[in-house]
Structure 1
Amino acid sequence: MMLRMRRELGGREPQITPQIDNLLILDRNVDLLTPLLSQLTYDGLIDEIFGINNTSVKLPPEKFMSSSQAPEEAPTEKKKIILNSSDELYGELRDKNFNAVGSLVSKKAKTITAEFDERHAAKTVSEMKHFVSKLPHLQQIRQSLSIHTSIAELIKEHTDTEEFMDSLRCQQEFINGLETDKAHPYVEDCIGKMEPLDKVLRLMCIQSYCNNGLKPKVLDYYKREIIQTYGFEHFVTLMNLEKVGLLRQHGQRNYPTIRKSLRLIVEEVNEQNPNDISYVYSGYAPLSIRLAQYNARPGWRSITEVLNLLPGPTIEEIQQIPVALRKRRSSITSSHSSVMDQKVTLVVFLGGVTFAEIAALRFLAQQDDGGTDYVIATSKIITGTSLLDSVMEKCSPVHLNPF
């Protein structure tokens, strides 16, 4: 893309001062595993369970009824909640691992209660005036706290289920390289119970990825079980998944090398106070974000062999910028040095990005001591289910003759 722009300019560099220091373009095919896994951040779980559309989510209305309302007065339409950074509490919660959300909400509730109690200690007119000035903000925070407590309760109802925990355990086994070379008992149980097909297909695709494809015997067995249980029309579904490589026969085992070299699995992960991007999946570091991390420091030359194992070519281009057009770096003594020295990296995800990956990039920016700021551009926000749906839509249909 950059080479094409340069050709259109007749080989000349643009005569403007660039605001973006680095451009990183990641094709979704480089990392199909991450979106297939269950996201474990607050934002990610909301999207996985309820679906976030244009920064809004529609939720069951009964959780947002006031205590004075009778059950028969419950609204029939779903409650629409706007999720954006103008909500101070949401800004704090969105990137947290869900296991850290409860303690943060509880701490915030105690703080708000204490601030409201200050009105009893106010004796003078000046103290009363100070409290009244804070009142609108306190009321806004309390309302936000009520909303997010209800959302957290809805999420917990889902994550506490046996089905969710069993699925998560199965995923953890796959990404750790366990039980990947044979039909997994949990996947078989899900098919036997006719659980949602998208859940079964996600698990099958995760197993295929982590095993670098399934043995022909295992793949044929899964396909036969899917068709017999969910209907022969899903032969098309399976063909489409094979066409894009989400399901495939066993080949060279690259995933174990990638997993080890890029430290995708982190054993000791702190979900409350994380020190690594792996917290967004409770022990798994998104491959896409690990690549962004290596790109920033120490550079991709340190992982050349691993890059060769990933699908597609790796292209690195350095743009020569005239000295006069380069960003001016301030001196160490300058009060604006932290702002001026900050590098901006634009990360473009072709094929979609998950909320968990966005959270991981934000975490990287915070951990980099202000050295790098990340701007994200993408074609869309995705989950594993929406990724599979898009594959089904884009693949050309296979015509079946049942006779």
Structure 2
Amino acid sequence: MTSHASTRVLSELSASAIASTLDARNRDALVTAIASLSRRGGDGAVALAMDGAVANGLVRCTRDVARRLRDEARVRRFYALEPRGELPAEDDADAVAFAVRPQLSAMVTIAEHVRGVRDRRERALRERARRAANANRTKTSARDAAASLLTRVASGAMGKSESASRDRASGDAAMDAFSEVPPLPKMCVVCVPRATAMCEDALRELHALEYVEMTSCDAHLIPVEPDVFTLEYPECYSEIVTEEWHACTYYVAAALHKLQRDVTGLAHVVKGKGEIAHKVAQLMLELRLGGQADDEPEHVEPGVDGDSLIDMIVLIDRDVDMVTPLCTQLTYEGLIDEILGIEKGAVAIPKRAFEDEETRERKAREAEANLPEEQRGKMPVRARAHKAGEIAMRPKLNNTDKLFDEIRDLNFGRACNVIRDLATAIKEDYAAIKGSNVEDQHVSEIGDFVKKIKANIGGTGLDLHATLAKYLIDCTKKIWFQDRLECERLCVEGEDLKKVIEHIETMIYRGDEAVPCLRMIVLACICFNGFPPKVHEKLFSDMFNAFGPEIMLKLLALETAALFVDREAAKKRPRGFAQVRKPLKLVADGVDGSEEPKDITFAYSSSGYAPLSCRIAEAATRGPWKTIAPNNTGEDVLKHLPGDTFEYTQTENDYGRATNTKASYREFNKRREKAAPLDGKDELWPKPTVLVFFIGGVTHAEIACLRHLAKTKECGCNFVVATTKVFNGDALLDTCGEDAERLETRLRVAHDTGGAPPS
């Protein structure tokens, strides 16, 4: 263990300290991996090609990593790793690094790039050989011609395969003699967080492994906010429920093991809900035991007296609560994500957001009039971000924007009030300065006003968020949006399935996009414990008729995941939402989102819904699972939800061997009681910190709810959120089942290996 003298001061015991340490370690891991390739390439220039998960997560969210890659790893160009693409011919880098997640699709794309680099060099060698042959042809003597004839006759006497092999070898030797054609660059596959046997096997089958080296970049959790960490693993939920592929179990367990070992210290209590969560907890113990067997460095003691930076870990499967991501988020940040989409930490604002409602309607009518007659009246009622028309700007949305940081977790109504009050205050300041005499105005007052104006115009601050808020208000007034909220309310309350079905059919018939229709179907299926058989058949038929054979892949995948089933099938894999609705107080009446929130229902104020996942996380901090319901029936309540319930304390036995024992909340409660009178403001007694890991993804609204709980005295602890991906309901269903991209990957594998597509 580290000595007491090397422990950190208490002022650093915060989520931001964890984020900063993770950020530095991730940066060092990536730079070291790429720099080692640069050295093997003779300290030459490196071209770095990255897939979306690495580029959008590890590189975009890690401070100064691009600068350090240029300075220390000699990276001269950055590329996006695109399917069926290749590095530009003018790129003369001595080494090429492919930074990717260990996935089959990435290996296929890498093999295509490797083949492109190899084929390009072979074409250059052939062209050089052709020019050399033409130059020497006129100088060829009769003796040389005779010798050539004798060689060909001798070759004919040899076996066919031996002759071909000899020709190929002589040709290669001849082409290698052209020194002006540069050799193949050193190529390396950097897998984040580790290189797997599956990756090696895939590259071997694709005839690319002999041209590349494989290495790992030991970067797991990526801080996207000071209190939000992600693995950038969007396919996690789909792989679990539709493919029964549990690779994410290792990645989550390894991330938590490394976090505790190197950064936070050992969390005292680990508890959770869900089948995959339980497997992660078991694997965490195996990794601790394996680390001890391999003489791995022991867990740090980052706090005074060995206190961990994290007091409790709560693991929650996304499958335990599928209702929350399918409901419409009504926090400011969540609503932006629902309507416009937040991608790569930025929002794509269309030009039409800067137009008034009348102009938008007129342009929409003109656009429809220009369509062929058979397509008129079939335009989607709501287009997602990538179909929102010409983009005007893509501003970043993070805590560096002070106004956004203030309003991001508020209910949309309250956020609009804050924006309006700020606009009013600026107008009043302007009126006061304009209406007074110049000689009465203090220079500092005028300077402060000018700073305010500069900070809030030109697509930043108040200017940006006033435009966004106005556009969102216009969208929320649409009939399709109001109907959607009403249908969600009926679902979470478990009332009037007939009205819900009528609304779903209306969405299908009027031409909504496929994913929003699927989203409402799945929500209704979960809330009403499946559909009557005839209703299930009709919805299946309606979706097929509306969206064609392609939708069958999604529907079958959702059936496999028990997200679109009849009531008989639902009994075999019950989701239990209806049974826990009242015991966990998931629905409240009369919620006014524009007021100061008293409960986490503010994030879904239209239906008064309190996220089930956040209720579970909140209950986890109160003590044993059995105590979360009257008469110690908490475990009986949670049994209605999918997966196992578990809780234990991480410790060591008398021989120093890692072990798990019966959960003890004594230390956790003692720390919370000491911090309660001070509300965690005294650094000597900070509130305990709880890490909530959502396996399968989390929404912005859930993060907002946990931040709100941390501010309440009743909760008495701080929350840090970790997840496989931050997303919304549309993105979640987008990943479920086969789609065109996955089918294309399978076909590319079949083409490159010369076999049938893998099953």
CA contact (8 A) 1:119 1:128 kept: no
**SS where residue 232 of structure 1 aligns?**
coil
Shift of 1:180: 2.6
**SS where residue 736 of structure 2 aligns?**
helix
Shift of 1:341: 3.0
1:284 aligns with 2:598: no
1:93 aligns with 2:401: no
1:384 aligns with 2:699: no
Shift of 1:385: 1.0
**SS where residue 201 of structure 1 aligns?**
helix
CA contact (8 A) 2:554 2:738 kept: no
Matched residues in 2 for 1:281 and 1:136: separation? 36
- Higher alpha-carbon Rg: 2
Matched residues in 2 for 1:370 and 1:37: separation? 25
Superposed CA offset, 1:20-58 (max 9, x none): 011111111111111111111111111111111122111
Within 5 Å, give how 1:118-267 maps onto structure 2.
Answer: 119=433, 127-133=442-448, 135-141=450-456, 143-180=460-497, 184-250=501-567, 251-252=570-571, 254-267=576-589
Shift of 1:177: 0.7
Shift of 1:358: 0.9
**SS where residue 519 of structure 2 aligns?**
helix
304, 308, 321: which one aligns with 1:31:
321
Matched residues in 2 for 1:116 and 1:214: separation? 60
Matched residues in 1 for 2:514 and 2:390: separation? 29
307, 320, 333: which one aligns with 2:638:
307
Shift of 1:278: 0.9
Superposed CA offset, 1:135-186 (max 9, x none): 4245314551111111011111211100111111111111111123787111
Matched residues in 2 for 1:236 and 1:180: separation? 26
Q: How many residues align?
A: 386
Pair 82,119 (structure 1): closer, same or farther in 2 beyond 3 Å: same
2:479 counterpart letter in structure 1: E
Matched residues in 1 for 2:335 and 2:461: separation? 18
Gaps of 5+ in 2: 1-280, 356-388, 629-633, 654-666, 744-759
Find the counterpart in structure 1 of residue 427 from structure 2: 113
Pair 229,133 (structure 1): closer, same or farther in 2 beyond 3 Å: closer
2:426 counterpart letter in structure 1: I
Matched residues in 2 for 1:335 and 1:234: separation? 51
Matched residues in 2 for 1:115 and 1:237: separation? 55
Matched residues in 1 for 2:320 and 2:521: separation? 18
CA contact (8 A) 1:183 1:218 kept: no
Pair 135,198 (structure 1): closer, same or farther in 2 beyond 3 Å: same
Find the counterpart in structure 2 of residue 400 from structure 1: none
Shift of 1:116: 4.0
CA contact (8 A) 1:341 1:371 kept: no
Shift of 1:129: 2.9
Superposed CA offset, 1:324-346 (max 9, x none): xx899679799963662311111
**SS where residue 260 of structure 1 aligns?**
coil
Shift of 1:196: 1.2
CA contact (8 A) 1:64 1:147 kept: no
Matched residues in 2 for 1:76 and 1:9: separation? 53
Gaps of 5+ in 1: 66-74, 398-403
Matched residues in 2 for 1:133 and 1:99: separation? 29
1:223 counterpart letter in structure 2: F
336, 355, 369: which one aligns with 1:46:
336
RMSD: 3.2
Pair 77,38 (structure 1): closer, same or farther in 2 beyond 3 Å: closer
283, 288, 311: which one aligns with 1:21:
311
Find the counterpart in structure 2 of residue 295 from structure 1: 620
Shift of 1:204: 0.8
Find the counterpart in structure 1 of residue 290 from structure 2: 8
More displaced 10-residue stretch of structure 1: 262-271 or 109-118: 109-118
Matched residues in 2 for 1:162 and 1:336: separation? 46
CA contact (8 A) 1:194 1:230 kept: no
Find the counterpart in structure 2 of residue 401 from structure 1: none
Find the counterpart in structure 2 of residue 68 from structure 1: none
Percentage of matched positions with identical amino acids: 31
Shift of 1:101: 2.5
Pair 182,134 (structure 1): closer, same or farther in 2 beyond 3 Å: closer
Matched residues in 1 for 2:521 and 2:680: separation? 54
Pair 267,339 (structure 1): closer, same or farther in 2 beyond 3 Å: farther
Pair 274,339 (structure 1): closer, same or farther in 2 beyond 3 Å: farther
Shift of 1:209: 0.1
394, 397, 408: which one aligns with 1:83:
397
Pair 103,333 (structure 1): closer, same or farther in 2 beyond 3 Å: closer
Superposed CA offset, 1:239-263 (max 9, x none): 1110112112214573222111111
CA contact (8 A) 1:42 1:94 kept: yes
Matched residues in 2 for 1:365 and 1:393: separation? 39
Superposed CA offset, 1:61-111 (max 9, x none): 35459xxxxxxxxx9643111111121111122112122232221111122
Shift of 1:320: 3.9
Superposed CA offset, 1:215-270 (max 9, x none): 22211111111112221332222111101121122145732221111111011323
**SS where residue 175 of structure 1 aligns?**
helix
TM-score, length basis structure 2: 0.47
1:319 aligns with 2:319: no
Matched residues in 2 for 1:334 and 1:95: separation? 21
Find the counterpart in structure 2 of residue 70 from structure 1: none
Matched residues in 2 for 1:288 and 1:229: separation? 34
Matched residues in 2 for 1:88 and 1:114: separation? 21
**SS where residue 203 of structure 1 aligns?**
helix
More displaced 10-residue stretch of structure 1: 272-281 or 188-197: 188-197
CA contact (8 A) 1:338 1:370 kept: no
2:584 counterpart letter in structure 1: L
Matched residues in 2 for 1:76 and 1:145: separation? 23
Pair 336,351 (structure 1): closer, same or farther in 2 beyond 3 Å: closer
Find the counterpart in structure 2 of residue 69 from structure 1: none
TM-score, length basis structure 1: 0.86
Shift of 1:112: 2.4
Shift of 1:214: 1.4
Matched residues in 2 for 1:184 and 1:334: separation? 48
Shift of 1:14: 3.4
2:578 counterpart letter in structure 1: P
Matched residues in 1 for 2:449 and 2:309: separation? 38
**SS where residue 92 of structure 1 aligns?**
helix
